Amino acid sequence: MKEYQVVGKSVRRLDALEKATGMGTFTTDLALPGMLYAKVLRSPHAHARIVKIDTGRAEQLPGVEAVACFKNTTRVKFNHSATMTFTVPPMEAVLDECIYDDVVRYVGDEVAAVAAVSERIAEEALALIDVEYELLPAVFDPVKAMEPDAPDIHIKKAGCFLCGKNIPGEKIHLALGNVEEGFKESDVIIEETFYLPVQKQAQLETQAALATVSNNGDITVWSTTQTPHPTRQILSHIFQIPQSKIRVLNPPYIGGGFGVRIGLSAKAEPIAVDLAMKTKKPVKIVYDRKEDFTSTDTRHSGIVTVKLGAKKDGTFQALQLKGLLNTGAYCSFGAETIGVLGAMGLSVYRAPHMLYTGNSVYTNITPAGAFRGFGNPQAMFAIETVVDMMAERLGMDAKELRLKNIIKPGDPWILPYSCQSTGLAECIEKGAKEIGWERRGTLNKPGDTLRRGIGMAVGTHVSDAWPFCGDFSNAYVTIQADGSVHVASGVPDMGTGTRTTLGQFAAEVIGVGMEHVSVTIADTQSTPFDIGSHASRTCYVAGQAVMKAATEARGYALAYAANMLNEPLEDLTILDAVVFCRGDRKLTLAEVARHAHLHNEQFIGVGKVIPQNAPPWLAHFAEVEVDTETGQVRLLKMVAAHDVGKAINPVIVEGQLQGGVVQGMGYALSEEVIFDREGRSQHDAYHKYMLLTAEDMPEIKAIIVEAEDPTGPCGAKGVGETGQVATAPAIASAIYDAVGVRMKQLPMTEERVFQALQELQKR
Amino acid sequence: MLKDYLLPASVDEALQNLQAYSGKAAIIAGGTDIMVNMAEGKVSPEALIDISRIGEFKQIEEEGEFIKLGAGVTHTQAARSPLIREKALVLAQACREVGSLQIRNVGTLVGNVVSAQPAADAAVALVALEAIAEIADLQGKREEPVEELYAGIGACKVDCRSQLVTALRFKALSPNQGSAFKRLAKRKALALPMLNVAVVLSLKEGAFEWVRIVMAPVGPGPVRATASENILAGASVSPEIIEKAAAAAREQAAPRDSALRGSAAYRRDVLKVLVRRALQDAVSQAGGSL
């Protein structure tokens, strides 16, 4: 394995001191002179037409400077997710929303917005807007929404592509071999259906934006977006203004994201820009927590069916997967998530015959979009539970059955790129050792009411979105006149340590310590185009761009130094900011850079990357204790063994894995947004929505496995989402081991486990 | 609209402040309820009267056979008090379950009572302890059992416009007595209880001398499981009688279906388990054997 100086080391994060001391700047913190505050009037109805809207009384309220609604605001159709900026023809992005429409499609949909001198006055003005609604029939169930007599949530027209009743985007069809033959060849077939809930990102910083418009019409927007460059493209589209006249940036920090702002931060940016254009003043909008729950993307709820056929010896013959995702009132990433559900679900195991069919469907609930895992957790809860059941039916150890069937490089698989590396077998073995897999089935005595169990599940993910949609990165790396190194990349750092990791790549390539490196991120004006942070791609793709740019800058510096020293270029190297030559001839990088500066030259490298893709792999293990009298599940230990290719900064990687596991634990046990019969969210606040707390945490052991991928920067693969992928099925498997019930609906609340136990007793 | 924030140094001064605002002032101690209600626009007092500077309000003390808690005693104080842990464990256990550490550090037990929520953990334990509230107004002092202060969901019989609860008092448990608190919630912190149960009992020569069982949220305030209490009173200690009493609690309780806190049927089934477990713990504390 290659020796590195900076890569692979847990160097201190560049943002550590600022954030630990409370000095880091977030959009929510920003203020500009003369700034106005925006508040949004939201629909109380799940589906209604606005018959009349009168903003007169609100406009009269002293302190109110503008009121916006569909009557006085652009109605250009867009999609608030970044899909509209990178969907490649012949596929078509679904553009199904405008800032304010005359039809509202879910409880919380935007009706109007006020800009006023204070938040309180803006709030008061909302109550003065008179709206008359004509109620329309609403549908909340994804199956009912596809029935012929269901209400149409969007009318098929230009820019809003429907391929069936309430079905946006494409119906996905992925096939390998012939599943019917595969099932005929199988000795054992298991088919089960699983029900997945709405989960919420619940990131700490709510959606926020601050927009200003200069005298000559240039627009600047600070916001919480995970993708500043695509967000600029969307704003350019909505307001029909050239991209060159819009600047989007993070200030520079974002309080988490988890996918909730890939593209616009819900509608924070266009609402702020529109009101800033109307008032000629800076306008800031910060969603309150309730708005963040009701009116920003969630994880897709849905129904997944798995049919698995195997030979008696455990060889998988056929795997069929069906997906239905509820994308809510607007498509967002609904067309992509349903595809990833199938693509990821079918790329873990080797089977000669596979088939996936799936589609998303509109209903009148909060839109669902991107959330860490992006369809993959839905797929793997279903698949891994069925694999567990298959092991039991075949009388095989669940770990051995997986080891027998997991994909290896060279196997045929469903994805349009090849699998060039896998450390999954190593993940399984290391994780099993850590949890004590051999103890499985030996933990309880007859009659115990508190019963322990051990379970496992595996999975994979992506390292970017190529070739499913547009995906590329650019970076500048400059060796400054004093020899220090500056990196410019368009990705954000939403808490994932991006700045530090990208800095490590530049430091490693050029041969300097981290103290010489600074990193500018997430600004369309000072960084080259980058798709941004999604699809676990930031380290993998932006990292490659930075390495390429740094290599180029280093080349210029070395060539210059070779000239200065009058030595052959190939004899020169840079170590610890010193350019060494044969013998003891050397110059500091600072000396070289200063000399160059005085002779009118700077070392600027540009890195442009069109990436490939690489599968990260993961094996999760859980130990739980189930109270058989209450149904409560207590987590005792979680193990997450992940093949990350190469951990550029191991502590950051462990943090990513643990964070993903924590969200997976909530998905498994307690997190769920339920809508009542009128479509109103019952879980619209932190005290109602059951994120697990610090007191609920078990020991979480992250194990890093490094099967370097030839396509990754220093071999690295994506780690942003993997922690979430197979956590719920590992816990479900442990619950089964403890008490013998197969849970087929998430979250596995105490009441659902209790009911399952009662049904088991009746049998 | 809030105009003033007052810091009286004595009970008298606080009562006079209340009178001066003739019903438009509100008492604040920890502020964990009133600040939320003000932020949501549910109440809008003209003045807040902060009682945290009244010296004796911070005290937990033994007065003869009683334990007395001042009106400013926080949940953290009660949960960690050696006196309460020894002689009223149910209260320490209940106080440890409220909210989160930050909320417990400022929220008071008296606040927990006067907010009159149906399943306030500390209040449930206090009812099981047959705690008495000392209530003062400008006319004088009176005493009322905590159990009788409930006038509906979120409604307390103490008139906060002119009256102040100054202390809580209950009998310390003796070595032949025991207590326990059990709770079912969706997570270990920051979760309202789906169910909570408090038990206080006294044993005499292998039998239950008396038992008090309180359950919530199955009514507007903490509810005594009277049928269960009657089954146990005078009976010999045995697993069978405990099971019978627990089953009776299940029959008596009428929780509601809740999207956030579980179905009525589930909660009734689990209530029985919690009552049984609380009784078992309390019996063993009182030196009984099962």
Among the partner residues B190, B266, B270, nearest to A693 by beta-carbon distance:
B190
Q: Domain-by-domain residue ranges, chain B?
A: 4-51, 58-171, 177-285
pLDDT higher than 90, residue A92? no
Lowest-pLDDT choice from A162-166, A588-592, A687-691, B210-214: A162-166
A63: left (phi over 0), alpha (psi -120 to 50) or beta: left
- Tell me, yes or no, if B100 comes closer than 8 A to chain A by beta carbon: yes
Among the partner residues A693, A749, A750, nearest to B189 by beta-carbon distance:
A693
- pLDDT confidence bin for A159, thresholds 50/70/90: low
Reduce the DSSP state of residue A613 to 3 states and report it: coil
Q: In the block, which residue shows the tokens 């001398």? A: B209
Query: For chain B, how far is it from start to end, CA to CA, in angstroms?
Result: 59
d(C-alpha A573, C-alpha A558), whole Å: 7
Q: What is the mean pLDDT of residues A642-646?
A: 98
Min distance A123 CA to chain B CA atoms (Å): 12
pLDDT higher than 80, residue B128? yes
Residue-level pLDDT at A160: 57
Domain B58-171 belongs to what topology?
A: 3.30.465
Contact across the interface for B191 and A690, Cβ inside 8 Å? yes
Amino acid identity at A379: A
> Which residue from A32, A360, A419, A9 is spatially nearest to A166, judged by alpha carbons?
A360
DSSP string, A247-285: EEE-SSB-S--TTTTSBSSTTHHHHHHHHHHHHTS-EEE
d(C-alpha A538, C-alpha A496), whole Å: 9
Q: What is the mean pLDDT of residues A648-668?
A: 98
Contact across the interface for B187 and A755, Cβ inside 8 Å? no
| CB atoms inside a 10 Å sphere around CB A663 | 25
Parallel/antiparallel/unpaired status of strands B164-171 and B132-137: antiparallel
pLDDT higher than 70, residue A194? yes
Domain B177-285 belongs to what topology?
A: Enolase-like; domain 1 (3.30.390)
- Tell me, yes or no, if B266 comes closer than 8 A to chain A by beta carbon: yes
Parallel/antiparallel/unpaired status of strands A485-489 and B66-70: unpaired
Half-sphere exposure of B170 (CA within 13 A, CB side): 24
Q: Mutation test of the interface with chain A: which of B104, B187, B192, B243, choosing the one with the most A Cβ atoms within 10 A? A: B187
The nearest alpha carbon in chain B to A753 belongs to: B266
A28: left (phi over 0), alpha (psi -120 to 50) or beta: alpha
DSSP state of B58: G
Chains A, B: CB pairs < 8 Å: 50
d(C-alpha A222, C-alpha A211), whole Å: 7
d(C-alpha A382, C-alpha A662), whole Å: 19
d(C-alpha A404, C-alpha A316), whole Å: 9
pLDDT higher than 90, residue A170? no
Burial of B175 from C-beta contacts in 10 A (0-12 / 13-18 / 19+): exposed
Among the partner residues A629, A686, A691, nearest to B273 by beta-carbon distance:
A629
**pLDDT tens digit sequence for A624-633:** 999 999 999 9
Of A649 and B160, the structure prediction assigns the larger pLDDT to: A649
**pLDDT tens digit sequence for B168-215:** 999 999 999 999 999 999 999 999 999 999 999 999 999 999 999 999
Residue-level pLDDT at A158: 47
Q: In the block, which residue shows the tokens 């940036």? A: A249
Measured on CA atoms in the order A83, A86, A90, A96, is the torsion positive or negative? positive
Strand order in the sheet with A573-575: A573-575, A578-580, A586-588
Residue-level pLDDT at A141: 98
Is the domain spanning A416-458+615-763 CATH 3.10.450.50? The answer is no
Residue-level pLDDT at A223: 98
Contacts of B194 in chain A (CB under 8 A): 750
pLDDT higher than 70, residue A119? yes
> Which residue from A380, A365, A383 is spatially nearest to A200, judged by alpha carbons?
A365
Q: Domain-by-domain residue ranges, chain A?
A: 16-23+472-609, 416-458+615-763
Question: Judged by CB atoms within 8 Å, which residues 729-758 of A form the interface with B?
Answer: 749-751, 754-755
Q: What is the mean pLDDT of residues A503-528?
A: 98
- CA A738 and chain centroid, separation: 32
Q: What is the mean pLDDT of residues A595-610?
A: 97
> Which residue from A760, A562, A751, A607 is spatially nearest to A669, judged by alpha carbons?
A751
Say if A16-23+472-609 and A416-458+615-763 have the same CATH topology: yes
Measured on CA atoms in the order B256, B258, B264, B267, is the torsion positive or negative? negative
The pLDDT > 70 percentage for chain B reads 100
- Bond preceding residue B217 cis, omega within 30 of 0: yes
Q: What is the mean pLDDT of residues A74-97?
A: 94
- CA A481 and chain centroid, separation: 38
> Which residue from B87, B104, B125, B141 is spatially nearest to B212, judged by alpha carbons?
B125
Contact across the interface for B188 and A670, Cβ inside 8 Å? no
A168: left (phi over 0), alpha (psi -120 to 50) or beta: beta
Residue A124 in tokens: 């008061």
Q: What is the mean pLDDT of residues A736-746?
A: 98
Report yes or no: A554 and A573 within 8 Å, Cβ to Cβ.
no
Residue-level pLDDT at A462: 97
d(C-alpha A547, C-alpha A536), whole Å: 18
Residue-level pLDDT at A584: 83
Reduce the DSSP state of residue A686 to 3 states and report it: coil
The pLDDT > 90 percentage for chain B reads 94
Q: What is the mean pLDDT of residues A426-449?
A: 97
Residue A25 in tokens: 């700047």
> Which residue from A230, A228, A223 is spatially nearest to A208, judged by alpha carbons?
A223
pLDDT higher than 70, residue A161? no
H-run or E-run covering A134: strand A130-135
Q: What is the CATH number of domain B4-51?
A: 3.30.43.10
Contacts of B262 in chain A (CB under 8 A): 749-751
Name residues whose C-beta falls within 8 Å of residue B170's C-beta, 6 or more positions apart in sequence: B66, B67, B88, B126, B129, B130, B131, B132
Burial of A608 from C-beta contacts in 10 A (0-12 / 13-18 / 19+): middle
> Which residue from A541, A547, A476, A554 is spatially nearest to A506, judged by alpha carbons?
A547
Task: Please state the φ and ψ torsions of residue B86, each to the nearest 5 degrees.
Answer: -85, -40
Among the partner residues A682, A693, A694, nearest to B260 by beta-carbon distance:
A682
Contact across the interface for B187 and A693, Cβ inside 8 Å? yes
**pLDDT tens digit sequence for B66-104:** 999 999 999 999 999 999 999 999 999 999 999 999 999
Name residues whose C-beta falls within 8 Å of residue B53's C-beta, 6 or more positions apart in sequence: B7, B8, B9
d(C-alpha A103, C-alpha A135), whole Å: 10
Mean per-residue pLDDT of chain A? 97
Q: Which CATH class is domain A16-23+472-609?
A: alpha beta
Among the partner residues B187, B266, B269, nearest to A670 by beta-carbon distance:
B187
Residue A149 in tokens: 């007599």
- Tell me, yes or no, if B246 comes closer than 8 A to chain A by beta carbon: no
Measured on CA atoms in the order B76, B80, B83, B89, is the torsion positive or negative? positive
**pLDDT tens digit sequence for A212-243:** 999 999 999 999 999 999 999 999 999 999 99
Question: Judged by CB atoms within 8 Å, which residues 655-694 of A form the interface with B?
Answer: 670, 674, 676, 682-683, 686-688, 690-694
